[in-house]
Structure 1
Amino acid sequence: MRLKNHIVILALLSVSVIFAQKKKTVAIAPKNQFISELLSRMTLDEKLGQLNLPTSGDITTGQAGSSDIAKKIKEGKVGGLFNIKSVSRIKEVQKVAIEQSRLKIPLIFAMDVIHGYETIFPIPLGLSSSWDMPMIQQTARIAANEATADGINWTFSPMVDLSREPRWGRVSEGSGEDTYLGSQIAKAMVNGYQNNDLKAKNSLLACVKHFALYGAPEAGRDYNTVDMSRVRMYNEYFPPYKAAVDAGVGTAMASFNEVDGIPATGNKWLMTDVLRNQWKFNGFVVTDYTGIPEMIEHGMGDLQNCSSLALKAGIDMDMVGEGFLSTLKKSLEEGKISMSDIDTAVTRILAAKYDLGLFENPYKNCDIDLAKKEIFSKENRDFARKVAAESMVLLKNDKNILPLKKSGTIALFGPLFDNKANMPGTWSVAANFDKPITILEGLKSTVGKSVNILSARGCNFLSTAAEEKININPHNPKSYVRDNRTDEELIAEALEVAKKSDVLIAVLGEGAEMNGECSSRSSIELPLVQKRLLDELLKTGKPVVLVLFTGRPLVLVEEDKKLSTILNVWFPGSEAGLAISDVLFGDVNPSGKLTATWPRNVGQIPIYYNHKNTGRPLNNKEGKFQKFLSNYLDVPNEPLYPFGYGLSYTNFEYSNLKTSSSKMNFSEKVSISVDVLNSGNYDGKEIVQLYIRDVVGSITRPMKELKGFKKIFLKKGEKQTVTFEISVEDLKFYNSDLQFVAEEGQFEIFIGKDSDATNKINLELVK
Structure 2
Amino acid sequence: MKHIYPYSLLVLVFLLSCCKSETKSEVQISQPEKPITSAHQPKPFNISDFESHVDTLISQMTLEEKVGMLHGNSMFANGGVERLGVPELRMADGPLGIREEISEDNWSPAGWTNDFATYYPAAGSLAATWNPELAYTFGNSVGQEARARHKDMVLSPAINIIRTPLGGRTYEYFTEDPFLNKTLAVPFVIGIQDNDVMACVKHFAVNNQETNRGTVDVLVDERTLREIYLPAFEATVKKANAYSMMGAYNKFRGDYLCENDYMLNTILRDEWGFKGIIVSDWAAVHSTVKTLENGLDIEMGTPKPFHEFFLADKLIAAAKAGEISETEIDKHVKRILNVLHQVKAIDSTGRTQGSLATQAHFKDAYDIAAESIILLKNENNTLPLQLEGVKSIAVIGNNATKKNALGGFGAGVKTNREVTPLEGLQNRLPKGITIQYAEGYLERYSKNENDQKEEVTLQGPTTIDQLDATKLEEALTAAKTSDIAIIFAGSNRDYETEASDRQNLNLPFGQEELIQKVLEVNPNTIVVMIAGAPYDLGTIKDKSHTLVWSWFNGSEGGNALADVLLGTINPSGKLPWTMPKHINDSPAHATNSFPGNESVRYKEGLLVGYRWFDTKHIEPLYPFGYGLSYTSFEFSDIKTNQTEYTDTDILSIKVTIENTGKFDGKEVVQVYVSKPNSKVERASKALKAFTKVHVDSGKTQTVSLEIPIKELAFYNVDTKSWEVEKGVYILQVGNSSRNIVSKQKIRVTE
TM-score bin (small chain): 0.7 to 0.9
Cα deviation per residue 1:52-78 (whole Å; 9 max; x = unaligned)? 124448xxxxxxxxxxxxxxxxxxxx7
Q: Partners of 1:155 and 1:569 in 2: how far apart?
A: 26
Does residue 1:456 correspond to 2:448, yes or no?
no
- Please give the TM-score of this superposition, normalised by the length of structure 2: 0.81
3-state SS in 2 of match to 1:270? helix
Distance 1:724 1:382, change over 3 A: closer
3-state SS in 2 of match to 1:574? coil
8 Å CA contact 1:412, 1:504 repeated in 2: yes
Q: Partners of 1:484 and 1:653 in 2: how far apart?
A: 44
Residue 579 of structure 2 corresponds to 598
Deviates more, 1:552-561 or 1:423-432: 423-432
Tell me how far 1:103 sits from its aligned partner: 3.5
Residue 417 of structure 1 corresponds to 400
8 Å CA contact 2:385, 2:567 repeated in 1: yes
Distance 1:526 1:403, change over 3 A: same
Distance 1:484 1:264, change over 3 A: closer
Residue 241 of structure 2 corresponds to 248
Distance 1:30 1:400, change over 3 A: closer
Does residue 1:31 correspond to 2:50, yes or no?
yes
Residue 236 of structure 1 corresponds to 228
Deviates more, 1:662-671 or 1:683-692: 662-671
Letter in 2 for 1:323: F
3-state SS in 1 of match to 2:510? helix
**Structure number with bigger Rg:** 1
3-state SS in 2 of match to 1:206? strand
3-state SS in 1 of match to 2:364? helix
Does residue 1:529 correspond to 2:510, yes or no?
yes
3-state SS in 2 of match to 1:319? coil
8 Å CA contact 2:75, 2:301 repeated in 1: no
Residue 8 of structure 1 corresponds to none
8 Å CA contact 1:122, 1:391 repeated in 2: no
Q: Partners of 1:483 and 1:735 in 2: how far apart?
A: 50
Q: Supply the RMSD in Å over aligned alpha carbons.
A: 3.1
Residue 578 of structure 1 corresponds to 559
Does residue 1:210 correspond to 2:206, yes or no?
no
Residue 329 of structure 2 corresponds to 342
Does residue 1:261 correspond to 2:258, yes or no?
no
Does residue 1:690 correspond to 2:671, yes or no?
yes
Q: Partners of 1:698 and 1:437 in 2: how far apart?
A: 53
Letter in 1 for 2:126: L
Tell me how far 1:658 sits from its aligned partner: 3.1
3-state SS in 2 of match to 1:253? strand
Residue 108 of structure 2 corresponds to none
3-state SS in 2 of match to 1:514? coil
Tell me how far 1:275 sits from its aligned partner: 0.5
8 Å CA contact 1:167, 1:220 repeated in 2: no
Tell me how far 1:472 sits from its aligned partner: 8.3
Tell me how far 1:456 sits from its aligned partner: 0.8
Cα deviation per residue 1:84-129 (whole Å; 9 max; x = unaligned)? xxxxxxxxxxxxx67xx44342111110111333212210011111
Q: Partners of 1:638 and 1:223 in 2: how far apart?
A: 34
Letter in 1 for 2:60: R
Residue 681 of structure 1 corresponds to 662
Q: Partners of 1:457 and 1:468 in 2: how far apart?
A: 17
8 Å CA contact 2:201, 2:246 repeated in 1: yes
Q: Partners of 1:496 and 1:467 in 2: how far apart?
A: 29
Q: Which runs of 5+ in 2 are unaligned?
A: 1-46, 99-116, 303-308, 457-462, 591-603
Deviates more, 1:579-588 or 1:504-513: 504-513
Identity of aligned residues (%): 31
8 Å CA contact 1:389, 1:583 repeated in 2: yes
Residue 41 of structure 1 corresponds to 60
Residue 166 of structure 1 corresponds to 165
8 Å CA contact 1:115, 1:140 repeated in 2: no
8 Å CA contact 2:465, 2:508 repeated in 1: no
Q: Partners of 1:467 and 1:362 in 2: how far apart?
A: 55
Residue 329 of structure 1 corresponds to 316
3-state SS in 2 of match to 1:422? coil
Does residue 1:442 correspond to 2:434, yes or no?
no
8 Å CA contact 1:678, 1:718 repeated in 2: yes
More helix by share: 1
Q: Partners of 1:241 and 1:619 in 2: how far apart?
A: 23
3-state SS in 1 of match to 2:436? strand
Cα deviation per residue 1:426-484 (whole Å; 9 max; x = unaligned)? 7894633452111121111111414221101111134665898973899xxxxxxx999
Work out which of the residue numbers 491, 503, 519 in structure 2 matches 1:510.
491
Work out which of the residue numbers 264, 273, 276 in structure 1 matches 2:269.
276
Residue 110 of structure 2 corresponds to none
Residue 354 of structure 1 corresponds to 341
Work out which of the residue numbers 582, 587, 606 in structure 1 matches 2:568.
587
Alignment of 1:110-259 (within 5 A): 110-117=91-98, 118-195=117-194, 202-215=195-208, 224-246=216-238, 247-259=240-252
Deviates more, 1:334-343 or 1:573-582: 334-343
Letter in 2 for 1:281: F
Distance 1:333 1:54, change over 3 A: closer
Q: Partners of 1:483 and 1:743 in 2: how far apart?
A: 54
Distance 1:252 1:463, change over 3 A: closer
3-state SS in 1 of match to 2:692? strand
8 Å CA contact 2:217, 2:253 repeated in 1: no
Cα deviation per residue 1:606-646 (whole Å; 9 max; x = unaligned)? 3799x8899xxx9999xxxxxxxx97xxxx82211111011
Q: Partners of 2:697 and 2:221 in 1: how far apart?
A: 48
Distance 1:612 1:114, change over 3 A: closer
Q: Partners of 1:30 and 1:206 in 2: how far apart?
A: 21
3-state SS in 2 of match to 1:335? coil
Distance 1:412 1:721, change over 3 A: same
